[in-house]
Structure 1
Amino acid sequence: MGARRPREPLSRERALAAAIALVDAEGLAALTMRRLAAGLGVEAMSLYYHLPGKEGLLDGLAEAVIAEIEAAAEAADATVAGDDWRTRLRQRFLAARAVMLRHPWAPGLLGSRPTVPAGVYAYYDQIIATLREGGFSYRIAHRALHAFGSLALGFAQEVFRPAAAGGTTDVDVAEAELAAMAEKLPHLTAMMAAEAHDADDPTLGWCDSQVEFEFTLDLLFDGLERARG
């Protein structure tokens, strides 16, 4: 009988990787210290050495997602030749979006944390650097960051986000309510009927489709080009 392989030691990175896998599969509501510990084959108290409680775990998840975005953005940036600021930012934001689509719980999590993950500052510093290299002043770069909003992190911040407050959006119920108000809201109803997303359209929210995301990016980039002039 062969020797038993030693168990992989518990680390913060290993715990966060397991937490991300769990949340990807079952959602944030399924994540508890006890559930995570069981999946890792350790006692729940062992996790507290690496992640100080549920809030520390959620902060760790937010930091891990930002780190994944940074890595994806840097990889995308390396594929762009020259100093084309528009292509660099477009590729960076689309890389961030790919991360968000892999982790659809991430936008709600990032919006709920009381502190900003440290990696966010480095990420935005690179955006400003790209704009500066593209000939923009710091004043326009500052305004661009406000205009980009959460698009820079790969998702569009919706006006009403029940999921961020622990609720859910039942699309069927919402559509039924809208249909009931069709006479009073003719234009909104007609637009919703015309713009209903295809099942294959990647989305992070009711209206955050890939086409809309890229349309908004291009609209902002066109405006920035004019502002630079």
Structure 2
Amino acid sequence: MSIDPDSPQGRGGAAATTAAAQPGVGRGQLDRRRVLGAAVELIDEQGLRALTMRALGQRLGVEAMSLYHYVPSRENLLDGIVESVVDELYGDPDVHMDAPDGWQAYIQRLAHGVRRIALAHPEVFPLVCTRPSAAPWVKPPLRSLRWMESFLTVLSDCGFDDGESVAAYRAFSSFLLGHLLLEVSAHGVDIGPVGEPDPGTADRADLHGYPHLQRLEPELAQDHTADEFEESLENLLTRLERVVRV
């Protein structure tokens, strides 16, 4: 059987995750990055429902209460886990922020980069897809403002107008979300809810330094899910028609 090139085995080992502190290192040698790395490792090994502050503290060799110095709440911990996993895209040498080989190659590379994250962290991936995002128009699993800006910039530079760029972003996100959630679910991962986030209104996303996002925020915020569903369904039917004719 051939090895999936996006799997950790196909990449020569697990994805480059944040190194966790060794048990017993003590609070003085901890920092937020190491706490989040340990949390990702714990979820990878035991599943999302096994993550508690007590279990995380035991893994790091410290009291659970000492972790609140680095992650003030469970919600902050979960947000940090999502951010640290998505940030693995920056360390993936096959994913580019620009498009030297054209927009098609850019999108292919980015899609495979997100899939590599899903396969390296299947137990974490449902969290990436369900955590409240920085803004309601930020769609999982590509939920980084920096990557959104990169995506919109590349398409704009390649001749897409604003409406086409936003439509492409939505279609790309929906494709990734649907396919990859089904893929990790097929491997036995629990993709059910793990509890509701704390109530309250999320802080408004800071779009300073993201000119495309600032300009396109009103269009990104529009709800076109019904139209997008119909378009995706029509595309599927067209593809099936081609298969039948072969």
TM bucket, shorter chain: 0.5 to 0.7
> Structure 1 segments of 4 or more deviating over 6 A?
none
**Which amino acid in the other structure matches residue 75 of structure 2?**
E
| Residue 125 of structure 1: aligned partner | 149
Write out per-residue CA displacement over residues 170-194 of structure 1, whole angstroms, 9 at most, x where no aligned residue.
Answer: xxxxxxxxxxxxxxxxxxxxxxxxx
| Residue 133 of structure 2: aligned partner | 115
Q: Identify if the C-alpha distance between structure 1 residues 77 and 103 changes in structure 2 by more than 3 Å, giving closer, same or farther.
A: closer
Asked which structure has the greater CA Rg, the reply is: 1
User: Root-mean-square deviation (CA), in Å?
Assistant: 3.3
Segments of structure 1 that go 5 or more residues without pairing to the other structure are 168-215, 221-229
Sequence identity percentage: 34
Count of aligned residue pairs for this structure pair: 162
Q: Structure 2-normalised TM-score?
A: 0.57
Q: Identify if the C-alpha distance between structure 1 residues 143 and 78 changes in structure 2 by more than 3 Å, giving closer, same or farther.
A: closer
CA distance in 2, matches of 1:123, 1:97: 15
Segments of structure 2 that go 5 or more residues without pairing to the other structure are 1-23, 196-231, 237-246
CA distance in 2, matches of 1:19, 1:149: 26
SS at match of 2:126: helix
**Which one has the bigger helix percentage?**
1
Contact 2:95 2:113 in 1 (8 A): no
CA distance in 1, matches of 2:194, 2:65: 26
| Residue 31 of structure 1: aligned partner | 51
Q: Structure 1-normalised TM-score?
A: 0.60
CA distance in 1, matches of 2:86, 2:96: 18
CA distance in 2, matches of 1:81, 1:131: 9
Does residue 134 of the first structure (1) align with residue 158 of the second (2)? yes
Alignment of structure 1 residues 1-229 onto 2, 5 Å:
9-72=29-92, 75-78=93-96, 82-116=100-134, 120-151=144-175, 155-156=179-180, 163-166=191-194
CA distance in 1, matches of 2:181, 2:56: 29
How far 1:134 sits from its partner (Å)? 1.7
CA distance in 2, matches of 1:153, 1:163: 12
